[in-house]
Structure 1
């Protein structure tokens, strides 16, 4: 029978700082819950101690994962920069061959998404994330030596296998350290590297192309080789700096470890353990949660735009400024990404302060809608270039918001790994679609690609609105359920396996 326990040790003396968490950790280590049966936390914390701990975690974790993700995105998207520097011509690509090379990447990227996140949980993110970073760094270097369509496609397939685990793996890893409300902004601090990769990637490619050669390599081959070597170096550093979870962090004191574990656990209704074993019922709860599926579909729609920008913005800029030099065209891709990076941080920051994510879905989507209307309505170069800023402002924040939304609406660690993996997998289906959204015969104005993105942006708004209303309606129905009656007679394990189906659980819009 599910019992209400540990109330006598649950309330901390706020005057004792981080050390008060030591009594709360008894809840985590002795198989006891940190909430009552109605989902209310049994533990209170000193806000100043939490703030100090949060800053320390930020400084130790975020720089490493941010740099890894920066070069993950660069190693994926630098093919767009290489295209301007002669990639297609040197490999003899014709017609839709470039789109085929992009598509191969997404086939492996989608297939290995959920299995990769399950493997990340089993091995531990402190080892797994650096290992796959090393893998895609090597693949990037390998791309510098391809001489045919089949070789390029083969390396891109391998790249997709290794990169599949990065976004969901880091999001899952960070969910072990942060509260629900804090997570979206922390995710944005590494996901902002996606638009920055577009900006920095353009600058880096411009700088690399000014070199006469790199060893025996020239032009676009230097881009892949140099950027891949940087990735390999960062991955080797990450093996030394990342740690699986708070309990194994050498840079936390025992009181800080206790506090880190207890505060995360205090938000998980009916849970006796933070890091559970891979559990099939909870894994399926994470995969098939209505909020997971709805959020994943939103991310699919959004990724058609985000990945389309990554692969085709240099091409779009070339159609707007056809007489400019290659380096000038590369540099013109930078400003829209800088604006996108600003909004990637702004909306998740507001999400953190308001503990709400769905409202920022509804604010972001209209920016993309307006941008694509401009693309379709005019051929004025300045207006079309300005539209890329609106699209960037609306598109890039969804990465942090969607992953945080999926993580916030399940309970267990197992369900969280599944929910985030499924969300990113759906997003990558959108990436696959994006590789066929801007086709050669549709140049130079790309009415098909822009029309598709207008439709997906508008649909994103409608789906986000419907999901938000459903969550509020479902919560109202849950208020009428009798928690005591529904969990009467259940064992502790059965209660934990309920996950989001626990009657005391509430959706978090």
Structure 2
């Protein structure tokens, strides 16, 4: 495995950036024989992995979120009036998406390896693309409900599957910035969606179709084109990717060995699922994610409407939302980079929420429209950092694979019920209920973050005492993330 071109060295003490974070010394009696990759060679490998995988992963998630959130763009373009939807029925259409979304997330995440990433992601992308195209031909509320339910069932598998795919490629301390790329796509989709809608709406009347219908048709066609890119671009086994040389494939095998405890067995295990379902970290994380998703789904879907409520026109709202979304995405990349470098997770979520609280207060208070618009930029900091960093916090602290797959699926399933809430609280301008509920959710999230941080610190302290012989080890589960040498990221 460690041929000379691979540029590895052996380190009996296992100290170094390639192994100390992910491979506890007690995992294997032969751990001392595991190579430690040369840092410069590993950096070049990471750059190559990012170059090939990240654009595809970002592209597919961008199209997914674009198709999902475009309902906010078509709302201000007259879609509800054209199909005879009342404000209450339209809010129901926004919320009903999450009825199937939350139900299908856990099974999709658990089945990802069995179905294989390539088949699962390509199949789901194909179906939701066609559903988006058909959305451009609906003529009543029942049709809108139907396409939203199908869209939710298909898109439910995407984020958990992509998130798990990242854990198959990257180490724990490399994941924050990569997960940030996914959430940045939600920001890009908001910005690009606004720009795209602004341009496509000018097609109003072409071939006898309203502009909002063309928004769905064109966005759906764009998503459909992405499906074959997924099939050919994301191999089921990243360590044997088509673009890797033999030396680089050997390096990937070394990285797999270094991440052995974090990844765990490839065999499906009901016991791992049961362990995960009893883990307090899962439910604390889900509660935090629920609060943060109130912002994510409310803000990303209704920002154009919020801007219109400030006195701007619907066309102005489409392009004014662009810098807000982009600013949120840039801030997320910065926070995620710092989080990965320091391996600090919870405090970064807490810190990012502070501008969001200030932003919502500015929007709610009797301030001028420019001040309210400035408040949306502050909100954007919390909107993307909160869900993304919190999910990374769960990712890096749950192992092995099926325990983590269960945790991600259940956390996302529980948290995404926030989408149902978001659709109900943002009904009528000036959206005092929606914005007030959002700032309240941020406050609750801050308290939950503190609680989870103290809980994880307590578990780390217990492990340290057990390792030092200061405490008797009476734990029933001592594998994966429960191993004494597995240090949780705070």
* TM-score, reference length from structure 1: 0.87
Residues 280-289 or 81-90, more deviating: 280-289
Give the structure 2 partner of residue 191 of structure 1: 183
Give the structure 1 partner of residue 445 of structure 2: 460
Aligned in 2, Cα 1:300/1:359: closer, same or farther, shift over 3 Å?
same
Aligned in 2, Cα 1:110/1:56: closer, same or farther, shift over 3 Å?
same
2:192 is aligned with 1:200: yes
Q: 1:125 Cα deviation (Å)?
A: 1.2
Give the structure 2 partner of residue 37 of structure 1: 26
2:336 is aligned with 1:348: yes
The answer to whether the Cα contact below 8 Å between 1:246 and 1:257 also exists between their aligned partners in 2 is no
* 1:477-500 deviation per Cα after TM superposition (whole angstroms, max 9, x unaligned): 111215999899x9xxx98x8322
Give the structure 2 partner of residue 4 of structure 1: none
Superposition map of 1:32-181 within 5 A: 35-37=24-26, 42=32, 43=34, 44-181=36-173
Of 353, 360, 385 in structure 2, the residue corresponding to residue 365 of structure 1 is 353
Give the structure 1 partner of residue 362 of structure 2: 374
How far apart, in 2, do the equivalents of 1:34 and 1:296 lie? Answer: 27
How far apart, in 1, do the equivalents of 2:252 and 2:189 lie? Answer: 31
2:283 is aligned with 1:302: no
Q: 1:275 Cα deviation (Å)?
A: 5.1
SS at match of 1:481: helix
How far apart, in 1, do the equivalents of 2:343 and 2:473 lie? Answer: 28
How far apart, in 1, do the equivalents of 2:10 and 2:417 lie? Answer: 45
Of 422, 430, 439 in structure 1, the residue corresponding to residue 410 of structure 2 is 422
How far apart, in 1, do the equivalents of 2:381 and 2:187 lie? Answer: 10
Query: Structure 1 stretches of 5 or more lacking a match?
Result: 1-8, 25-32
Aligned in 2, Cα 1:23/1:476: closer, same or farther, shift over 3 Å?
closer
How far apart, in 2, do the equivalents of 1:18 and 1:188 lie? Answer: 30
Aligned in 2, Cα 1:21/1:403: closer, same or farther, shift over 3 Å?
farther
How far apart, in 2, do the equivalents of 1:261 and 1:429 lie? Answer: 39
The answer to whether the Cα contact below 8 Å between 1:198 and 1:334 also exists between their aligned partners in 2 is yes
Q: 1:257 Cα deviation (Å)?
A: 2.3
How far apart, in 1, do the equivalents of 2:206 and 2:168 lie? Answer: 42
Query: Structure 2 stretches of 5 or more lacking a match?
Result: 13-21
Aligned in 2, Cα 1:498/1:35: closer, same or farther, shift over 3 Å?
closer
Q: 1:209 Cα deviation (Å)?
A: 0.9
Give the structure 2 partner of residue 506 of structure 1: 487
Q: 1:304 Cα deviation (Å)?
A: 0.3
* 1:59-104 deviation per Cα after TM superposition (whole angstroms, max 9, x unaligned): 1111011011111111001011111111110011114011111111
Superposition map of 1:383-394 within 5 A: 383-394=371-382
How far apart, in 2, do the equivalents of 1:46 and 1:128 lie? Answer: 35
The answer to whether the Cα contact below 8 Å between 1:38 and 1:483 also exists between their aligned partners in 2 is no
Superposition map of 1:236-385 within 5 A: 236-269=228-261, 274=264, 276-322=266-312, 324=313, 326-385=314-373
The answer to whether the Cα contact below 8 Å between 2:173 and 2:340 also exists between their aligned partners in 1 is yes
* TM-score, reference length from structure 2: 0.91
Aligned in 2, Cα 1:215/1:449: closer, same or farther, shift over 3 Å?
same
* 1:125-163 deviation per Cα after TM superposition (whole angstroms, max 9, x unaligned): 122112211111111001001111111101100000010
SS at match of 1:396: helix
Q: 1:427 Cα deviation (Å)?
A: 2.6
Give the structure 2 partner of residue 28 of structure 1: none
How far apart, in 1, do the equivalents of 2:222 and 2:362 lie? Answer: 38
Of 455, 461, 466 in structure 2, the residue corresponding to residue 481 of structure 1 is 466
* 1:435-487 deviation per Cα after TM superposition (whole angstroms, max 9, x unaligned): 112122xx32x222122111111111121122112211221111121599989
Q: 1:398 Cα deviation (Å)?
A: 2.6
Give the structure 1 partner of residue 16 of structure 2: none
SS at match of 1:37: coil
SS at match of 2:25: coil
SS at match of 1:146: coil
When the two structures are aligned, how many residues end up with a matched partner? 477
* 1:160-192 deviation per Cα after TM superposition (whole angstroms, max 9, x unaligned): 001001111111111100010110101112220
The answer to whether the Cα contact below 8 Å between 1:105 and 1:156 also exists between their aligned partners in 2 is yes
The answer to whether the Cα contact below 8 Å between 2:25 and 2:485 also exists between their aligned partners in 1 is no
The answer to whether the Cα contact below 8 Å between 1:39 and 1:268 also exists between their aligned partners in 2 is no
The root-mean-square deviation of aligned C-alpha atoms, in Å, is 2.7
The answer to whether the Cα contact below 8 Å between 2:204 and 2:212 also exists between their aligned partners in 1 is no
How far apart, in 2, do the equivalents of 1:52 and 1:234 lie? Answer: 27
Aligned in 2, Cα 1:247/1:97: closer, same or farther, shift over 3 Å?
same
How far apart, in 1, do the equivalents of 2:352 and 2:411 lie? Answer: 18
